[in-house]
Structure 1
Amino acid sequence: MSSDPDITRLPASPPPPPDARDAAVQQALLRFDRKSAATAQGISTDIRLIERTAASLRPSRERPVMKRTRYLLAASLACLVAGSGAYLHLMRSPQVAQFAPPVEQKLASNEAARVEPTVQAKKESESQAQPQTQIPTATPAAKPNPEAAARSAAAAPPPATPHVEDRILSRVAPQAPAATDRVQGFMPGTSSPYSARSRGDYRTDDGFNRASPPAFAQQMAPAESLPDHTQRERVPGLAEPAGRDKFANAPENAFQIARDAPVSTFSIDVDTASYAFVRAQLNRNVLPPAASVRTEELINYFPYDYEAPASPDEPFRANVAVFPNPWAEGRKLIRIGIKGYALQQTNRPRANLVFLIDTSGSMQPLNRLPLVKQSLAMLVTQLQPEDRIAIVTYAGNAGTALEPTSVSEKAKILATIDRLEAGGSTAGAEGIRRAYALAEQNFDANGVNRVILATDGDFNVGITNKDELKGFVERQREKGIFLSVLGVGAGNYNDALAQALAQNGNGVAAYIDTINEARKVLVEEASSTLFPIGKDVKIQVEFNPAAVAEYRLIGYETRRLNRDDFTNDKVDAGDVGSGQTVTALYDIVPVGGPRTVDDLRYGARAAASGAPSPAEYAFVKIRYKLPRSDRSVVISTPVDRGSESARFEEAPLDARFATGVAAFGEILRGGKHTGQFGYDDVLRIASAARGDDPYAYRAEFLQLVRAAKTASAMQPLRP
């Protein structure tokens, strides 16, 4: 071995040539190819080793992953379906209009705080919202500048994020139909409300174009301000209010001692609103409130076959009957019936009618404005070509939907009615003023001038005081313009106002709860509803103290008059229409019968029961005026023994049926004077006295009595 110093003295090895490495590699590859030419590379199996190893590991790693993926996809799909269903349910719910705006407003404020646009962005968005009226001038073409475009793109504000309210309303509100003319209130001959809004204006409840409201007012509008067909789709789901009805009634009449107060005076009542309201409640399986039951209106709902007068010069004829009281042994009933003269269709006067229609938001449900529209359309078909109709609508404001138009243009009138829609508050007083102005403008001295008000009575804008409205209607009545009321709805129905307006307007008050009731009032009884044959009709009955110890008028609590009002032609009373019937029942205690009021110790004693019975029980006087006269006429008839039936079953058929109806009304009011008389007794009497029933009104009454037996005392709470 050489030592280190020897190594350092060895000469340095020469550097290898540049291609020596490549040559060595080539030689090694050639030797490898020659050596392994006869042997195949790899393994003899079909699968590589790494794949064989991975195959045994794949089930334990990939299968759980696939299962978890499937579970996640299924859960996501279920959440999507459930969320969509819940969203649609909430948006169709009646509460969404009440609770959605505040929530949307809060979300919108949070979003606005999160993304605050710059001043430049606000200006640009406002400029985009305004209609472009300037025509841009042509500019010479210039080369595109990439750097300038990049700078402008960087300086441009981000696109405005839509408000939350807009996103929600865009999902709820369907697209506007291609052609629609339905608006709140109405204005004929105008374009769609959607096109009006796109121009920057909108239509109010009274049908007039107003300036467009602020943007925030449009965004925060409740769901009820959506397009009209959306309202119609959601009407069936709207829950009506409950417990806010107002009724015109008074405590039941008490027994009067004939010796102390022998005279009874009252105005006739031909209204039928109470019966229809009672029917509507019983059809809901709920007993009506006692205050809603006016027994005389239940009795007078049905036509009776009384003897008719022969001439319009004496338009009334009285029919009287006396028979035993079926619910109180020893007492008797006196039936007073009146039938008016029936005008011939060719002889009836012309009609100048103004339909005053409530189109406020409370009239949206199907049993309100939609039913009113059907009812008035049926009435139009009963009028003559020479009659005239005008239409006034009122909501937040009042508007004239149709100027006075001849019924010969029936298609135009019906189209106007069909276009009415509901929405807004209720300015009823303003609508009444406008309707009377139109009626006075087209006053027909030889015809019937009448305003027909269709409403739920929920006046909440303008004059809402009942006495003020009554005074206005009374003054118009003196001019020869009368008022009738068609009431609709339940839950907030103002029966008290409807009765006050109709009574002071020399008209009738009807309640329309079904299309069949509309047909009865406005088609089958159109002549009696529209054309009076006698006005200010009063009845005064003087009882004979020698034959009658006590008496009680059944019903008519809101129609009682003072004794001296009978001869005072300035005192208003009810009207009777063409062919109409009026019925009144008195419950009397004959002398010697079971008293309800004891005699006074120091007062005069009643006649002894052994004294001979006088020939007359009472004397009936009827005072009325002809439609164009201011002087009253009196007709009279005695109630004597000749009109008495010894047994109830021998009484006239109509008298027995009216007795059953009266008993039903008294039971609904609490049965203070009917004792143990019940619904089964009513059914027994009314079924036996049903008689001729061409329109099945009496058959329907029997069904209502059966419904009352199982009806609930109060309306059930909504879930």
Structure 2
Amino acid sequence: MRRQLPAQTKTILALSLLLSATALTAARVTAADRVRPQHDGLPTAATCAELGFPQQRADEDGATGKIQGLFQKRVRSSVAPLAPSPAPTMEMEAMAPVGGAVAAADAIGGELPYDTEKYPDATSNPIKQVDAEPVSTFSIDVDTASYANVRRFLNDGTLPPRDAVRVEEMVNYFDYGYAPPTDPAVPFAIHTSVVPSPWADGKEIVHIGLQGYDLAEDNRPPLNLVFLMDVSGSMNDPTKLPLVQKALNLLIDELRPEDHVSIAVYAGAAGAVLQPTPGDQKLKIRCAVDAMRAGGSTAGGEGLALAYQMAEQSHQKDSVTRVILMTDGDFNVGIADPEKLEDFVAEKRDTGVYLSVYGFGRGNYNDVMMQTLSQTGNGTAAYIDTLQEARKLFRDDFSGSLFPIADDVKIQVEFNPDRVAEYRLIGYETRLLNREDFNNDQVDAGEVGAGASVTALYEITPAGGKLSVDPLRYEDAPKKVSYEPDAELAYVKVRYKLPGADTSELIEQPIADADRPAALAEAPEATRWALAVAAYGQKLRGDPWMDRSFDWTAIGDLAQGARGQDPFGIRAEFVQLVRAADRAKSVNE
């Protein structure tokens, strides 16, 4: 029979255990404090209020006034020194909590049809005759916004607007496993292959892959980031500001002690919310991010001006300074004209501040604005439709998103008229350059981040093949075609500037007309996958160059056969998107 302890003994024993546990916990906390930042963790109302960021939602009990007071206080104390003009005040209008009575459509005045979204008008590249135009020149594009945005439409069961589809951003969404450069002094390695076209008999595809070197973690420079958050009324939707906050928290996870973060916001006016804060004070940064609530009009131009001022003032030597804009692109107060914003950002480009633009939401999404800002601001653009996409950008592709290895990267391809009769660049319609722009270091082009790759595809007609145009009545007799196996098909040049440099460097390499596979099935996996994605994009756009017999089933089969290693299921998702496109309806139906 078990012996019962006296009540007094039980009490003493319990107190002893409690004191021991408390001492052990204190020891663990003390040890933890020595190895990780004091303010790391998830924000709570109490801790955020202690740090000066009340986690209150706008309601009828005056929380709106408290939040507004927070912004006004910080605007007066933080923004005034940045500009000679009087400090603005933040107009935070009362809004219901996300998911409450006020929906996104009500926030901007009614229904949100897709036809209110704005996309660049870009006609598909034409076929060029090599005898007349042997040289093709374009700026690189590592943006992926179009892929995720199109995915959003297809997941809704509708086909995207034609101009929402940029084929190069579809292709460049994926990793092709290109071998990195062997010489650290040269930031790119060029890879090429030539294969039969899967969608046009008698045509061939020239595949050009550019792989940038990756920076080792201990060689990555400090980051000086300014989060510029759109908190206007149009952002009051679960796919907008709440997703922005979740995405930024993923980025905050990756910050190091030597990194610094500032936060600016804009609605009816612009205001500074967080002064430069070390990356190991994660809880403080999270509290500032989570305190944001949507309301008011959209003074995006003022927000950009403030963010650039903050970035320039907090810039550190040998650091990467970048403004990270999170918005739906709906600028409707102050500087809202894309051309004027482009001029402003172009002026700021020379300060060395990069601009990353991340788009959110639907209904009033302004892709024109996003492309204008990112292309002009020496930065990149992406669209975040899910938390998974944010995780890909800010965790899996962290170095490629934030650490530049080259600026103003341009590609020029010269085709050999003895080997090639016609060519067509697939995609890059908004990135075309004049031939003389290639050697002009004053002409802006795209930025490439650490470890990022660029893929370009040309459809060509071999010399002697069936042309897309009738021969000229008065042209000279056709040239005799040479078929030596080692003849050059084309010549590739890549021009780039190292970050901060004013003078460009040059890499060049021929494309040999040898070892061409007899059938597409024998082509490298990377090439077959790139062709499947390019076919998907061209078909979504309704481009006239694809044989109608190459349907969605054929595209899906080509992709399925080239999936290869797919540890995160990204390629499997693409195959599902191809099937969804086959079933999707037009947005006008």
Q: TM-score, structure 1 length as denominator?
A: 0.69
1:693 to 561, 566, 578: 566
Structure 1 residues 453 and 604 mapped into 2: Cα distance closer, same or farther (>3 Å)? farther
**Corresponding residue of 2:543:** 671
1:708 to 557, 567, 581: 581
1:465 to 337, 352, 360: 337
After superposition, give the CA deviation of every residue in 1:501-550 in whole Å (9 maximum; x if it has no partner): 11111111000000000001111101100001111110000001111110
**Corresponding residue of 1:40:** none
Structure 1 residues 517 and 180 mapped into 2: Cα distance closer, same or farther (>3 Å)? same
- Match status 1:432 vs 2:304: yes
Amino acid at match of 1:632: S
Superposed CA RMSD in Å reads 2.6
1:417 to 289, 306, 329: 289
Larger radius of gyration: 1
**Corresponding residue of 2:319:** 447
Q: Give the drift of 1:684.
A: 1.0
1:590 to 436, 441, 462: 462
Give yes or no for contact 2:330–2:364 (8 Å, CA) kept in 1: yes
3-state secondary structure, aligned to 1:286: coil
Give yes or no for contact 1:354–1:435 (8 Å, CA) kept in 2: yes
**Corresponding residue of 1:15:** none
**Corresponding residue of 2:556:** 683
Give yes or no for contact 2:260–2:278 (8 Å, CA) kept in 1: yes
Amino acid at match of 1:207: F
- Match status 1:207 vs 2:79: no
Q: Give the drift of 1:382.
A: 0.7
3-state secondary structure, aligned to 1:355: strand
Q: Give the drift of 1:364.
A: 0.6
Q: Give the drift of 1:604.
A: 3.2
Structure 1 residues 595 and 381 mapped into 2: Cα distance closer, same or farther (>3 Å)? same
Structure 1 residues 348 and 311 mapped into 2: Cα distance closer, same or farther (>3 Å)? farther
**Aligned 1:109-120 pairs, distance under 5 A:** none
Q: Following the alignment from structure 2 to structure 1, what is the Cα–Cα distance between the partners of residues 58 and 354?
A: 39
**Corresponding residue of 1:399:** 271
2:349 to 477, 480, 491: 477
Aligned length: 522
**Aligned 1:190-229 pairs, distance under 5 A:** 204=68, 207-208=71-72, 226=94, 228-229=96-97
Give yes or no for contact 1:268–1:538 (8 Å, CA) kept in 2: yes
Structure 1 residues 307 and 606 mapped into 2: Cα distance closer, same or farther (>3 Å)? farther
Q: Following the alignment from structure 1 to structure 2, what is the Cα–Cα distance between the partners of residues 324 and 513?
A: 35
**Corresponding residue of 1:270:** 142
Q: Give the drift of 1:601.
A: 1.4
2:223 to 351, 356, 364: 351
**Corresponding residue of 2:519:** 647
**Corresponding residue of 1:106:** none
Give yes or no for contact 1:395–1:423 (8 Å, CA) kept in 2: yes
Q: TM-score, structure 2 length as denominator?
A: 0.84
Q: Give the drift of 1:631.
A: 1.3
Q: Following the alignment from structure 1 to structure 2, what is the Cα–Cα distance between the partners of residues 400 and 325?
A: 53
Q: Give the drift of 1:465.
A: 1.1
Q: Give the drift of 1:243.
A: 1.3
- Match status 1:534 vs 2:534: no
After superposition, give the CA deviation of every residue in 1:164-206 in whole Å (9 maximum; x if it has no partner): xxxxxxxxxxxxxxx79999xxx94469688998699675599
Q: Following the alignment from structure 1 to structure 2, what is the Cα–Cα distance between the partners of residues 706 and 404?
A: 47
Structure 1 residues 486 and 413 mapped into 2: Cα distance closer, same or farther (>3 Å)? same
Q: Which range moved further: 622-631 or 561-570?
A: 622-631
Structure 1 residues 231 and 384 mapped into 2: Cα distance closer, same or farther (>3 Å)? same
Give yes or no for contact 1:591–1:606 (8 Å, CA) kept in 2: no
Give yes or no for contact 2:354–2:378 (8 Å, CA) kept in 1: yes
**Corresponding residue of 2:252:** 380
After superposition, give the CA deviation of every residue in 1:350-400 in whole Å (9 maximum; x if it has no partner): 000000000000001100000000001100111111100000010001111
Give yes or no for contact 1:318–1:339 (8 Å, CA) kept in 2: yes
- Segments of 5+ residues of structure 2 without an aligned counterpart are 1-44, 75-91
**Corresponding residue of 2:78:** none
**Corresponding residue of 2:490:** 618
3-state secondary structure, aligned to 2:509: strand
3-state secondary structure, aligned to 2:218: coil
Q: Following the alignment from structure 1 to structure 2, what is the Cα–Cα distance between the partners of residues 262 and 653?
A: 29
More helix by share: 1
Q: Following the alignment from structure 1 to structure 2, what is the Cα–Cα distance between the partners of residues 199 and 349?
A: 40
Give yes or no for contact 1:205–1:360 (8 Å, CA) kept in 2: no
3-state secondary structure, aligned to 1:582: strand
Structure 1 residues 445 and 658 mapped into 2: Cα distance closer, same or farther (>3 Å)? same
**Aligned 1:138-149 pairs, distance under 5 A:** none
Q: Following the alignment from structure 1 to structure 2, what is the Cα–Cα distance between the partners of residues 200 and 327?
A: 58
After superposition, give the CA deviation of every residue in 1:595-637 in whole Å (9 maximum; x if it has no partner): 1122221223443568767711100011111113211111111
**Corresponding residue of 1:53:** none
Greater relative contact order structure (CA < 8 Å, 6+ sep): 2
Structure 1 residues 197 and 687 mapped into 2: Cα distance closer, same or farther (>3 Å)? closer
Q: Following the alignment from structure 1 to structure 2, what is the Cα–Cα distance between the partners of residues 508 and 197?
A: 42
3-state secondary structure, aligned to 1:229: coil
3-state secondary structure, aligned to 2:322: strand
Q: Following the alignment from structure 1 to structure 2, what is the Cα–Cα distance between the partners of residues 579 and 193?
A: 41
Amino acid at match of 2:252: V
Q: Following the alignment from structure 1 to structure 2, what is the Cα–Cα distance between the partners of residues 327 and 688?
A: 16
Q: Percent identity?
A: 47
Q: Give the drift of 1:658.
A: 0.3
